[in-house]
Copies of this chain bind each other. A is one copy, B any other.
């Protein structure tokens, strides 16, 4: 890593820390106004933003980006409007900062309060979607944090234009410009320097594909909020209602196959009455089913699963399917192959549901619902910054509360410790 990159990142984090101290003390209303102004500024800068995006699109086409990547990169008036509207929505979310989590009075008269405060300085590392520039900045700022953004090179012009507009809004509301900073270089060493900035950056949030998340988790000396895989399981129990099971399984796998909450492995209880119906419904919906020996016998259209399939997040219309001997076997399979993201049991048997909900060690465990509900909006949390499968701080869908921490306030009237 060059001294220059080190210096650039050190400068970014120093400014971010100073801005974080300012924003932590800003009122709910002022933060909301800053985001409303940022949304207005995004709309006002549409010509600049769409022009910048056209440059990225042209460069992307020239460099042979795939159609899928170009689609992620592309902005048009409707997409820009939805970015601005999303920023406004975040402005209208309740501010968690200042919330009193609990309060106790001790026998000596000391009053202990736990109060939510911002985490501090967040770094968001993402790929080619320019909307993340606005989304992540809005969520971070709403919870009183300073945000450092590092987007993919493909979107560099779009990100700069979006960032410039947002800053204009933020500053017009009286917040410091350093509240939201964009890393000014696309040198990949800057990512390494951000990940190494222990004590300067409080939390890193990677937004993107598995290789990005894996790199961040591997290199980071700073806490990371992320999920690497979404190998979600749906377990159809012996006592599942077949109509409900079919509807949920097809939805869980096929509604959108590319999201992290889509089911990748179907576990069918050996005593479930209609496995053929389930497998058939998936295949009829256009899903490839990679099955174990027992399930292969049921439908000749299935293909043989191998060991690797049980640990694969397809993100495509493919599902692995296995017969299990009961709840414990399902729980064991999930413990061995799962990614602690989202799992669901379909059953009319409350005892089985209870055992599954207790025994599965995932961020989200569901009963009689589609794993595709694994989303902060669906959980009523407002916009989410992502889904975390780590065990500490925040788990599952992470929204504003996950971007805060707490401190203890102790109110005394002269107490000394005996």
B residues near A255, Cβ cutoff 8 Å: 416-417
Chief secondary structure at chain A's binding surface? mixed
Given A358-B25, A392-B119, A392-B405: A414 touches B110 (CB 8 Å cut-off): no
Pick the most buried of A203, A223, A255: most chain B CB atoms within 10 A of its CB.
A223
The yes or no answer to A21 lying at the interface (CB within 8 A) is yes
Alpha-carbon gap, A399 to B275, bound state (A): 48
Within 362-418 of A, Cβ neighbours of B (below 8 Å) are at: 362-370, 372-373, 378-380, 390-393, 395-397, 405-417
Given A335-B21, A378-B106, A396-B407: A247 touches B416 (CB 8 Å cut-off): yes
Q: Are B362 and A407 in contact (CB under 8 A)?
A: yes
Residues 234-259 of chain A: 1 if any B CB is under 8 Å from the residue's CB, otherwise 0? 00000001001001100110010000
Given A202-B392, A392-B202, A417-B370: A363 touches B247 (CB 8 Å cut-off): no
B residues near A14, Cβ cutoff 8 Å: none
Alpha-carbon gap, A344 to B25, bound state (A): 19
B residues near A251, Cβ cutoff 8 Å: 416-417
Alpha-carbon gap, A303 to B81, bound state (A): 65
B residues near A247, Cβ cutoff 8 Å: 414, 416
Q: Are A392 and B203 in contact (CB under 8 A)?
A: yes
How far does the Cβ of A19 sit from chain B's closest Cβ, in whole Å?
A: 13
Alpha-carbon gap, A50 to B395, bound state (A): 44
The yes or no answer to A152 lying at the interface (CB within 8 A) is no
Q: Are B120 and A391 in contact (CB under 8 A)?
A: yes
Given A120-B391, A359-B25: A407 touches B369 (CB 8 Å cut-off): no
The yes or no answer to A357 lying at the interface (CB within 8 A) is yes
How far does the Cβ of A94 sit from chain B's closest Cβ, in whole Å?
A: 13
B residues near A367, Cβ cutoff 8 Å: 409-412
Q: Are B414 and A378 in contact (CB under 8 A)?
A: no
B residues near A183, Cβ cutoff 8 Å: none
The yes or no answer to A112 lying at the interface (CB within 8 A) is yes
The yes or no answer to A132 lying at the interface (CB within 8 A) is no
Q: Are B396 and A393 in contact (CB under 8 A)?
A: no
How far does the Cβ of A138 sit from chain B's closest Cβ, in whole Å?
A: 21
The yes or no answer to A361 lying at the interface (CB within 8 A) is yes
Q: Are B395 and A405 in contact (CB under 8 A)?
A: yes
Q: Please, which residue of chain B has its CB at the minimum distance from the CB of A98?
A: B358
B residues near A119, Cβ cutoff 8 Å: 391-392
Q: Are B407 and A395 in contact (CB under 8 A)?
A: yes
Q: Please, which residue of chain B has its CB at the minimum distance from the CB of A373?
A: B417
The yes or no answer to A155 lying at the interface (CB within 8 A) is no
Pick the contact of A112: B244, B361, B380, B410 (CB < 8 A): B380
The 6 tightest CB contacts between A and B, nearest first, are A369-B412, A251-B416, A366-B410, A372-B417, A368-B412, A392-B393
Can you name 15 A-B pairs with beta carbons within 8 Å?
A: A24-B358, A104-B380, A110-B373, A117-B361, A119-B391, A247-B414, A251-B417, A252-B416, A255-B416, A367-B409, A367-B410, A379-B408, A392-B392, A395-B406, A396-B408
Binding site for B on A (CB under 8 A): 21, 24-25, 104, 106, 110, 112, 117, 119-120, 202-203, 223, 241, 244, 247-248, 251-252, 255, 335, 344, 357-359, 361-370, 372-373, 378-380, 390-393, 395-397, 405-417
Given contacts A252-B416, A364-B408, 19 further A-B contacts (CB under 8 A): A104-B380, A106-B379, A120-B361, A202-B391, A203-B391, A203-B392, A223-B392, A363-B408, A364-B410, A365-B410, A366-B410, A366-B412, A369-B412, A369-B415, A370-B415, A372-B416, A392-B392, A395-B406, A396-B408
